[in-house]
Amino acid sequence: MHQNINGLFNKIDALQICLLLEDVDVLCLSEHHLRSLQCDMVLLENYTLESFFCRQTQRKGGVGIFVKAGVISMALNVIEFCIEGHCELAAVELKLLRKRMIVITVYRPPSGNINIFFTQMTELLEHIFDTNKFIMITGDFNIDCSEESSIDTKRLIYLMKSFNFYPSIFTYTREFKNSKSIIDNIFTNIPKGEIECFNLVTSLSDHYAQISILRSISPMPDVTKYLYSRSFLPCQVTNFKIALQQEPWSKLYFENYTNIDYLYGFFQSILEKHFLNSFPLKKRNICISKCPSHINISKQTMEIRKQLKHLYIQSKNLDSSHPLRIQYQITKKDFRKMIRIEKNNVFNQKVSNSKNISKTYWEIINSHRNNSKSSNFIDTLQDNNGGITNKPEEIATLFNDHFINITQDMSVSHKAYYSNKGISDSLFMSPTSEAEVIRIINSLKTSNTAGFDGTSTKLLKACSSEMSKPLTYLINKSISTGKFPKQLKKAIVKP
């Protein structure tokens, strides 16, 4: 699906509903009006921003391609063919069941130099053309294909046909105030019997969206993912407890051993042996489920959306002061307000039903953060002489030279500071007992989270009676020797 969005930032929720209803695999946007930092913050549920272009000096413009989760895709570097204000591009390569497919999104600003646009497009097509791949070029060309006698239209059609691409949209893509044009289009080399293209009224901007449906061609699903995990069924926990009860621990209680690291290592090896026997690792497939939507699409919301599309069609040729056009603007605000309200209701319900409110708050916050790795490239870099380069080899060389020579300019020297101040006080501890160890274990918060040894507090509490005696012995031995086992100084830290 391609949509000239004419500003994305305040339309994300409305666009999300459109994607959910139309079940779009690849979303191509033109005129998103975002800067690079803003693109990193944009989050569409169940979609990844795979490739995008943002303007650096001018306002508005820009293109981007979102790919649905589960579709295998790869961003293509077409930055060398982009010229801000003249030819703006983004491209991805998809892996289909039969062959690969390249999708390119184009935006040609109407104020740009059209000769520069055709030059860049020719170089791009020569670069990506491959008879063994399906190629789809979609976007806002700002060249009206309904005017067949226009020189610019002929140039565009001839350019595309020279690479065996044909146009697929023949109805108006923009109708506003009695102005009708086909400035958005889809050019492709996919056989006509295998693709269907048409316009869709989304009321997201004054442009219609262009939909492409590929018959008998579907994206290759992502490879089956799996992980190794342990199950802790009640019968397994019982077997683990029986194994611990039958363990004599005689070597652990041998009086001549004073090395606490050796003693704890022996205890850990015995515990690990029974742990692995009772809870073996098993390979399990990961079921990739669709991300739950943060927007509850109610009947009222659908009714307002239907009314909004109807008003858009009725008022698209009317002046802004016309009552019908005013009603359209009011309905559009009501629709966006309704989405925000329903979104807030979903979040409030999650918090009210949560047992750990702090954790739920962070889950909500993280769900609105785009944590995916940016697919953007460092396209240009300034050297020491003020020159700008866009060649990858030269950019890599500039980075290498910078980090190699940066230490030579350091004028500040740091002196090491050592403190030999001794400990003024001593620490005295009394030996513990099995009853105290069991009481402390049972006071721990029950959790399935495990440390580096794989033992969770839930399992520890279930086996507190069986492990209390060796643990008490080890704790008292640690107190008497004044040493702490090195194995217990390990931790798993997850930021």
Residue 86: predicted pLDDT? 95
Question: Residue range 57-63: average pLDDT?
Answer: 92
Of 93-97, 170-174, 210-214, 463-467, minimum mean pLDDT range: 93-97
- Alpha-carbon distance of 148 to 155, in angstroms, equals 10
The DSSP result for 159-205, as a single string, is: HHHHTT-EE---S-SEEETTEEE--EEEEE-S-GGGEEEEEE---SS
| Interval 388-407 mean pLDDT | 83
Asked if 78 and 146 sit in the same domain, the reply is yes
Is the pTM higher than 0.75? The answer reads no
Q: What is the pLDDT of residues 176-208, one digit of tens each?
A: 877 899 999 999 999 988 899 999 988 888 899
The single-letter code of the amino acid at 243 is A
Q: Tens of pLDDT along 469-486? A: 999 999 999 988 888 999
Which has the closest alpha carbon to 173: 347, 6, 23? 6
In this structure, the answer to whether residues 167 and 26 fall within a common structural domain is yes
State yes or no: pLDDT of 31 exceeds 60: yes
Phi-psi region of 33 (alpha: psi -120 to 50; beta: other; left: phi over 0): left
* Residue 64 in this model has a pLDDT that exceeds 90: yes
Instruction: Find the range with the poorest average confidence among 26-35, 123-132, 235-244, 310-319.
Output: 310-319
Lay out the sheet containing 100-107: strands in order across. Answer: 73-76, 88-95, 100-107, 134-140, 184-188, 166-167
Q: Are residues 197 and 253 in the same domain?
A: no
| Cα–Cα distance for residue pair 5/14, rounded to 1 Å | 11
Structural domain total, the chain:
2
Q: How many CA atoms lie within 13 A of 243 on its CB side?
A: 16
Q: Which H/E stretch holds residue 130?
A: none
HSE toward the beta carbon, residue 174, CA cutoff 13 A: 21
Note whether 207 and 196 are within 8 A (CB).
Answer: no
What's the pLDDT at 370? 60
Q: Are residues 41 and 130 in the same domain?
A: yes
Q: Is residue 149 part of a domain?
A: yes
| pLDDT greater at residue 136 or residue 319 | 136
- Alpha-carbon gap, residue 416 to 102, rounded angstroms: 57
**Residue 296 predicted with pLDDT over 70:** no
Q: Is the same domain home to 28 and 131?
A: yes
Please give the pLDDT value at position 87: 96
DSSP secondary structure, 224-286, as one string: PPEEEE----HHHHHHHHHHHHH---TTTT-TT---HHHHHHHHHHHHHHHHHHHS--EEEE-
Instruction: Check whether residue 264 and residue 127 sit in a common domain.
Output: no
Q: What are phi and psi of 138, to 5 degrees?
A: -130, 155
Residue 282's DSSP bridge partners are 229
Q: Return the ∠ at Cα 203 (arms to 39 and 187), rounded to 5°.
A: 70
- Flag whether 250 is in a domain: yes
- Model confidence at 166, pLDDT cuts 50, 70, 90, reads very high
Q: Judge contact between 76 and 93, C-beta under 8 A.
A: yes
Closest alpha carbon to 5 in 170, 188, 204: 204
- Tokens 């005689």 locate to 250
Q: Report percent pLDDT > 70 for the chain.
A: 88
Burial label for 88, CB within 10 Å (0-12, 13-18, 19+), is buried
* Per-residue model confidence (pLDDT) at position 82: 95
Q: Please, which pLDDT band fits residue 375 given cuts at 50, 70 and 90?
A: very low
User: Is 265 found in the same domain as 211?
Assistant: no
Distance CA 351, CA 140 (A): 43
What's the gap between Cα 294 and its chain centre?
16
As a whole number, mean pLDDT of residues 82-106 equals: 92
> Is 70 exceeded by the pLDDT of residue 50?
yes
Q: Out of 21-35, 237-251, 346-360, 400-414, pick the least confident.
A: 400-414
- Quickly state the pLDDT bin for 117 (edges 50, 70, 90): very high
Contact 186, 141 (CB under 8 A): no
- Give the dihedral sign, CA 460/244/451/469: positive
CA–CA distance from 420 to each of 417, 423, 485 (Å)?
Answer: 10, 10, 25
CB of 490 closer than 8 Å to CB of 453: no
Distances (CA, A) of 493 to 182, 358, 359, 451, 487: 56, 19, 17, 10, 16
| 306 domain-assigned | no
- Tell me whether residue 419 is in a domain: no
Q: What is the mean pLDDT of residues 306-332?
A: 85
Same domain, 56 and 96: yes
What range defines the domain where residue 252 resides? Answer: 226-285+428-489
Same domain flag for 150 and 274? no
**Which among 149-153, 348-352, 390-394 has the top mean pLDDT?**
149-153
Same domain, 208 and 259: no
The enclosing domain of 183 has a CATH number of 3.60.10.10
Asked if residue 416 is part of any domain, the answer here is no
Q: Report how many helices (DSSP H) and strands (DSSP E) the chain contains, helices first.
A: 13, 18
Residue 46 has pLDDT above 80, yes or no: yes
The pLDDT tens digits for 447-475 are: 888 888 888 999 999 999 999 999 999 99
According to the model, what pLDDT value does residue 427 have?
Answer: 67
* Residues 177 and 276 occupy one common structural domain: no
Q: With 90 as the cut, is the pLDDT of residue 334 above it?
A: no
Element (H, E) at 73: strand 73-76
